[in-house]
Chain A
Amino acid sequence: MVSNSEKYTEKKARRSLSEEKRHSIAGYLFVSPFFILFAIFGLFPMLFSFYLAFFKWNGLGEMTYNGINNFTIIFNDPIFWKSIYNTVIIGLLGTVPQLIVAFLLAYALNSQVLRFKNTFRVAIFMPYVTSIVAVAILFSIIFNNQSFGLVNSFLGIFGVEPIVFTQSEWGAKIAIAAMIFWRWVGYNTIIYLAGMQSISNDLYEAAKIDGATLTQQLRYITLPMLKPFVLFTVFMGTIGSLQIFTEPLIFFGGNLREEGITVVAYLYRDAFENNFFGTASAVAIVLFVIIMVFSVINLLVTNRLGRGKARKA
């Protein structure tokens, strides 16, 4: 039973909603689907992962509080540190040459002399569209351990002994980095190309009149004007390479060996192969912190570069 006075206040409250307020409520309701879905599939798993990092849990049995032991266990595991080292090395091997090549490709695609430009653009972007799993399977054939593998038979021409890629410290890393290179180089090329096309042609014309060579144009016009694009790709590349996962998983065919295990692969092995959800969550938190640190470094660098430019102007 609702008393009369309560009804009255309720009515009054409803009436007191101004037109403006009602509009804003409607607005929130319209955007709510995203937030509801995010809360269920994004926020909840994240918070639960933080919670789990302090428990032992195998997914089916009882959860038992474990304090910071999960962190102690992973920090004492040499393979965990190896996985961080691998991630960084594979990330560097995969992204640094990739960005350089993407820049050169974009420059070539943007040049006046090249014909069939659109065909090349599509061709270069194609790898990005292919499925990672397909790429990984293809590359495990290219980097096959046997002497008839594509890379090994090529090396064989020069009398090099076949490399056991899945078990070699550098072989595994190079193979995985090659997949990342192949898949992402087109994506970055298109971004650089877009950047280059946004540079006004007047600048190049003025430079030509002043007698600047192609190299000088590249160095003093293209490169500085592309800075924001380069920063964006470096930023995306850093975060992307910290999350390398599918490539090593498929390349090693399930048996994640320490030569090529990455942080996310390490997490996956703990959580979904062995059902040690506690330590897996602890790894997730450590990875979260690492990504935060890298992002902050990236931001600081970006800001500094931005300020430098402003001062010059």
Chain B
Amino acid sequence: MQPELPNPPSDAEFVGLLTQSQLSLLLYVRSLLPGEADASDVAQQANAKIWEKRADFALGTNFLAWSFAIARFEVLNYRKRQARDSRLTFSEDLEQTIASELQQIDDDLLSRQEALRKCLDGLKPEARTLLMDRYETTESLADFARRIGRSAGGLKVSLHRIRATLADCIERRLATGAAR
């Protein structure tokens, strides 16, 4: 008797799955590489690998779980290639927990972005400019602080406050559905 063969998706179905899970994948890779500027490159590599292995995926099984496993492998590869001190990586247990939780997480980034825009509008102009300037540059916090003539510590606190305000505002909007 023939064993039951896995049921691979068509390329079109696969693209659909991969497209839908882009945000989760990106979040997952960033969660494992916090503060790494190269995180999106790693996510891209993971995408390429996932596509390469598409024939191994069986329809009806958990796509996120499967793709996260590949993404994690790419993260490990990246760390290896960087040959960098790996003190600042999470324990394996924590990485597993993050993987399983992010697989469940609601893909609400679109409404979040909309809420964020409204909340940004509500910020004081100086705060908003500071935040956008910070995100536009690739400088380290210290270099950025020096350039705008502020102390790194003070800047860190300011940025944190702005982010906290934004985060609160976003949660409030999402909770009341005001963003829609």
A binds B: no
> What is A's interface to B at a CB cutoff of 8 Å?
none
